[in-house]
């Protein structure tokens, strides 16, 4: 199986996750290099009017989008999207939107139709934001389950010590607690 990955790492905490995006007109091969803001609030990905114009795109359909003047017919395009100039490439339907930045350097919102294809994680450890994304999805990450298992293993470890029993980790790994959940991040 081939897993495609990208990481965007910052040297500080950021309020907006933005990655470089290459958008290609499938019919003509014309390419626009721009930036995409990752937006879990956007159902579908969108590209700005100026990007659509630069690419010379022809709408494949129209969708109704709620705007200031009510529901407005809005063009939809089919484009090839390459994320972060790394190896995540996909063909996606995108809706046209108004400009996202005054400098027009942000040409896209990366919406849930792309994000849901894989696993995404945003961490802010040590004062640095890191976003990492992979396609396809490989694993469920659930911090609540992690903490619950840590607590259970710690409790049974304490009982084992009190009763002078062999101290196997309660997670079922077969390892000694000190070499397993005894090393859990949640001890910090
Ligand atoms: Zn364990």
Please tell me whether residues 43 and 74 are part of one structural domain.
yes
Q: How far does the centroid of ligand 1 lie from the alpha carbon of residue 183, in Å?
A: 9
Please tell me whether residues 128 and 154 are part of one structural domain.
no
Element (H, E) at 115: helix 112-115
- The pTM of the full predicted model, rounded to 2 decimals, is 0.87
Q: How far does the centroid of ligand 1 lie from the alpha carbon of residue 7, in Å?
A: 29
User: Distance between CA atoms of 3 and 107, rounded to whole angstroms?
Assistant: 26
How much of the chain, in percent, has pLDDT values that exceed 90? 83
Please tell me whether residues 108 and 168 are part of one structural domain.
no
Q: How far does the centroid of ligand 1 lie from the alpha carbon of residue 154, in Å?
A: 9
Please tell me whether residues 159 and 110 are part of one structural domain.
no
Average pLDDT on 11-29 reads 96
User: Distance between CA atoms of 47 and 100, rounded to whole angstroms?
Assistant: 9
Please tell me whether residues 147 and 95 are part of one structural domain.
no
pLDDT digit string, tens, across residues 107-150: 999 999 999 999 999 999 999 999 999 999 999 999 999 999 99
CATH number at residue 114: 2.40.70.10
Please tell me whether residues 36 and 76 are part of one structural domain.
yes
Q: How far does the centroid of ligand 1 lie from the alpha carbon of residue 140, in Å?
A: 18
Non-local (6+) Cβ contacts of 64 within 8 A are 71, 72, 73, 74
Please tell me whether residues 161 and 129 are part of one structural domain.
no
Please tell me whether residues 46 and 76 are part of one structural domain.
yes
Please tell me whether residues 122 and 78 are part of one structural domain.
yes
Q: How far does the centroid of ligand 1 lie from the alpha carbon of residue 188, in Å?
A: 16
Structural domain tally of the chain? 2
Q: How far does the centroid of ligand 1 lie from the alpha carbon of residue 185, in Å?
A: 12
Question: What backbone torsions phi and psi does residue 69 show, to the nearest 5 degrees?
Answer: -95, 25
**Which residue range is the domain that position 94 belongs to?**
4-135
Q: How far does the centroid of ligand 1 lie from the alpha carbon of residue 169, in Å?
A: 5
């Amino acid at each position: 199986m081939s897993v495609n990955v990208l990481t965007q790492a910052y040297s500080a905490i950021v309020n907006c996750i933005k990655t470089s995006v290459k958008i290609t007109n499938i019919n003509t091969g014309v390419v626009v290099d721009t930036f995409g803001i990752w937006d879990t609030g956007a159902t579908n990905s969108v590209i700005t009017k100026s990007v659509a114009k630069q690419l010379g795109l022809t709408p494949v359909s129209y969708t109704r989008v709620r705007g200031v003047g009510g529901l407005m017919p809005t063009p939809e395009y089919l484009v090839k999207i390459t994320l972060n100039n790394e190896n995540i490439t996909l063909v996606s339907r995108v809706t046209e939107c108004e400009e996202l930045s005054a400098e027009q350097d942000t040409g896209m919102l990366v919406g849930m139709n792309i994000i849901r294809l894989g696993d995404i994680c945003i961490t802010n450890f040590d004062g640095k934001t890191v976003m990492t994304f992979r396609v396809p999805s490989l694993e469920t990450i659930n911090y609540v389950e992690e903490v619950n298992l840590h607590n259970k293993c710690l409790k049974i470890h304490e009982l084992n010590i009190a009763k002078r029993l062999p101290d196997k980790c309660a997670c079922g790994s077969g390892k000694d607690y000190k070499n397993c959940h005894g090393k859990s991040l949640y001890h910090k």
